[in-house]
Structure 1
Amino acid sequence: MAMLASIWIVLLAVTIQDGDGQVVQMDSIKSGFVGSQVELRCVFLNSNPPVKISQVTWQKYLNGTKQNVAIANPSLGVSVLPPFKERVTFKQPAVRHRTPSLEDTTIMFSNLRLSDEAAYICEYTTFPAGNRENMVNLTVYARPMTRISLTTPTIVARATKRKMTVATCVSANGKPPSVIKWETRLKGEPTFQETRNVNGTMTVRSNYLVVPGRETHKQKLTCIVTYRNERLTDSVILNVQYEPEVVIEGFDGNWYLNRQDVSLTCNADANPPVTVYQWKLLNGSLPSTVEIRNNSLMFKGPVTYDLAGTYVCDATNSIGTRTGLVDVNVTEPWHDEIKATRYTTTEFPSNPSPWDTQTPQQQHNAGAVIGGAVGGVVLLASAAALLFVFLRRRQRTFKGDYSTKKHVFGNGYSKAGGLPANHPIPKNLQYPDDSDDEKKPAQIGVSGGFEASERDFGGDVEESKRPYFTVDEGESRDYDERTLAFQYDPQQEIADDMVSQTDGSVISKKEWYV
Structure 2
Amino acid sequence: MPGRNPLKTSNHSRGIKKVGIFGERLVGMAMAMSTSFWIFLVAVNVPGARAQSVQMDSSKSGFVGSQVELRCLFVNSNPPVKISQVTWQKFVNGTKQNVATVNPSLGVSVLQPFKDRVSFKQQAVRNRTPSLEDTTIVFNNLRLSDEAAYICEYTTFPLGNRENMVNLTVYAQPVTRMFLSTPTIIARPQKRKMTVATCLSANGKPPSVITWETRVKGEATFQETRNANGTVTVRSTYALVPSRETHRQKLTCIVSYRNEKITNSVILNVQYEPEVKIEGFDGNWYLNRKEVQLTCNASANPPITMYQWKLLNGSMPSTVEIRNNTLFFKGPVTYDLAGTYVCDATNSIGTRSGLVEVNVTEYPNFLPSEDRSIVQPSSGAAIGGAVGGGLLLLVAGALLFVFLRRRQRFKGDYSTKKHVFGNGYSKAGGLPAHPPMPKNLQYPEDSDDEKKPGPASGPARFESSDPDFDGEADDMKRPYFTVDEGESQEYDERTYRYEPGAEPADDMVSQNDGSVISKKEWYV
Under TM normalisation by the shorter chain, which class is it? 0.5 to 0.7
Q: Which amino acid aligns with 2:291?
A: D
Q: In the alignment, what sits opposite 1:33? A: 63
Identify the residue that residue 191 of structure 2 maps to in structure 1: 161
- In structure 1, the partner of 2:11 is none
- How far 1:502 sits from its partner (Å)? 5.5
Match in the other structure for 2:96: 66
Partner SS, residue 251 of structure 2: strand
Which is further off, 156-165 or 133-142? Answer: 156-165
| Residue in 1 that maps onto 2:134 | 104
Does the CA-based 8 Å contact 1:178-1:204 persist in structure 2? yes
Identify which range, 249-258 or 30-39, moves more after superposition: 249-258
Query: Are residues 1:174 and 2:194 paired?
Result: no
* Shift of residue 376, structure 1, vs aligned partner: 7.3
Matched AA of 1:247: K
**Distance change >3 Å, CA 383–CA 125, structure 1 → 2:** closer
Contact kept in structure 2, 1:154 and 1:241, CA below 8 Å? yes
> Which residue is 2:74 aligned to?
44
Q: Out of 286, 302, 305, which is 2:332 matched to?
A: 302
* Counterpart-to-counterpart distance in 2, 1:77 and 1:384: 135
Distance (whole Å) between structure 2 residues aligned to residue 369 and residue 376 of structure 1: 11
Q: Call closer, same or farther: CA 1:79–1:350 in 2, change over 3 Å.
A: farther
Render the CA deviation track for 1:40-85: whole Å, top value 9, x for unaligned.
1111113554400001111111122222211111112222222222
SS in 1 for 2:179: strand
Percent identity, aligned pairs only? 66
Amino acid at match of 1:71: T
User: Distance between the aligned counterparts of 1:440 and 1:37, measured in 2?
Assistant: 146
Q: Partners in 2 of 1:131 and 1:226 — Cα distance?
A: 46
Is residue 158 of structure 2 the alignment partner of residue 138 of structure 1?
no
Letter in 2 for 1:173: N
Q: In the alignment, what sits opposite 2:295?
A: 265
Q: Does 1:225 align with 2:249?
A: no
In the alignment, is the contact (CA less than 8 A) between 1:183 and 1:222 conserved in 2?
yes
Cα distance in structure 1, aligned partners of 2:408 and 2:193 = 87
3-state SS in 1 of match to 2:360: coil
Q: 1:385 to 1:49 in 2, by over 3 A?
A: closer
Structure 1 residues 471, 375: closer, same or farther in 2, change over 3 A? farther
Q: Secondary structure at the match of 1:85?
A: coil
Secondary structure of 1:162's aligned partner: coil
Amino acid corresponding to residue 326 of structure 1 in structure 2: V
Quick one: distance in 1 between partners of 2:358 and 2:384? 35
Q: CA deviation at 1:151?
A: 2.2
Q: What is residue 444 of structure 2 aligned with on the other side? A: none
Which deviations, in whole Å up to 9, do the C-alpha atoms of 1:436-465 show, x marking residues without a partner?
A: 8xx995449xxxxxxxxxxxxxxxxx9997
* Residue 228 (structure 2) aligns with: 198
Rounded Cα–Cα distance in structure 1 between residues aligned with 2:269 and 2:397: 74
**How big is the shift at 1:144?**
0.3
1:288-329 deviation digits (Å, cap 9, x = unpaired):
111112201111222222222222211111222222222323
Task: Give yes or no for contact 1:20–1:47 (8 Å, CA) kept in 2.
Answer: no
**TM-score under structure 2 length normalisation:** 0.67
For the 8 Å contact 2:77–2:133, the answer to whether it is kept is no
| Aligned counterparts of 1:356 and 1:103: Cα–Cα separation in 2 | 114
Does 2:285 correspond to 1:246? no
Q: 3-state DSSP class of the match of 2:195?
A: strand
1:185 is displaced (CA, Å) by: 1.4
The structural deviation recorded for 1:155 is 2.3
- The more displaced of 276-285 and 324-333 is 324-333
Contact 2:56/2:71 (CA < 8 Å) preserved in 1?
yes
Contact in 2 for aligned 1:21/1:47 (Cα 8 Å) = no
Query: What does residue 374 of structure 1 align with?
Result: 394
C-alpha contact (below 8 Å) 1:440/1:502 kept by paired residues? no
* Structure 1 SS opposite 2:398: helix
- The structural deviation recorded for 1:153 is 4.0
Contact 2:344–2:352 at 8 Å: present in 1 too?
A: yes
Distance in structure 1 (CA, Å) of the matches to 2:220 and 2:55: 51
Aligned to 2:27: none
2:109 paired residue number: 79
Deviates more, 1:163-172 or 1:315-324: 315-324
Check whether the contact 2:211–2:253 (CA below 8 A) recurs between aligned residues: yes
SS of 2:130's equivalent in the other structure is coil
- Corresponding residue for residue 244 of structure 2: 214
Partner of residue 234 from structure 1, selected from 252, 264, 282: 264
Q: Is the 8 A contact 1:441 1:503 kept in 2?
A: no
CA contact (8 A) 1:144 1:173 kept: yes
Query: 1-side partners of 2:67 and 2:334: how far apart?
Result: 89
Who is 1:279 aligned against? 309
Contact 1:315 1:323 in 2 (8 A): yes
- 1:278 CA drift (Å): 0.8
Distance 1:357 1:89, change over 3 A: farther
**Structure 1, unaligned stretches of length 5 or more?**
1-17, 393-406, 408-432, 445-461, 493-499, 505-514
Whole-angstrom CA distance in 1 between matches of 2:335 and 2:382: 29
CA contact (8 A) 1:90 1:108 kept: yes
| Separation in 1, partners of 2:285, 2:348 | 36
Q: Please give the per-residue CA displacement for 1:183-219, whole angstroms capped at 9, x wherever unaligned.
A: 1111222222222222211111111112222121101
1:384, 1:189 → 2: CA distance?
A: 76
Structure 2 CA distance for partners of 1:487 and 1:202, relative to 1, 3 Å: closer
The change in CA–CA distance for 1:381 and 1:184 in structure 2 (over 3 A counts) is closer
**2:145 equivalent among 111, 115, 124:** 115
Distance 2:99 2:274 in 1: 70
Distance 2:407 2:81 in 1: 147
167-176 or 62-71: which moved more? Answer: 62-71
Change (3 A) 1:324 1:487: closer
- Of the structure 1 ranges 97-106 and 84-93, higher mean CA displacement relative to structure 2 is found in 84-93
What is the aligned length?
404
**C-alpha distance 135-357 of structure 1, shift in aligned 2 (>3 A):** farther
Q: Deviations over 1:487-506 (max 9, x none)?
A: 75xxx9xxxxxxx85559xx
Q: State the AA in 2 paired with 1:178.
A: S
- Provide the aligned C-alpha RMSD in A: 4.1
| Mapped pair 1:94 → 2:114 | no
Which secondary structure state, in structure 1, belongs to the residue aligned with residue 211 of structure 2? Answer: strand
Contact 1:33 1:141 in 2 (8 A): yes
Q: 1:182 to 1:387 in 2, by over 3 A?
A: closer
Q: Greater CA deviation, 229-238 or 371-380?
A: 371-380
Q: Structure 1 300/471 Cα, relative in aligned 2: closer, same or farther at 3 Å?
A: farther
**1:182 counterpart letter in structure 2:** W
Q: Does 1:330 align with 2:360?
A: yes
- Kept after mapping to 2: 8 A contact 1:440/1:503: no
Q: Deviations over 1:272-292 (max 9, x none)?
A: 110211111223221111111
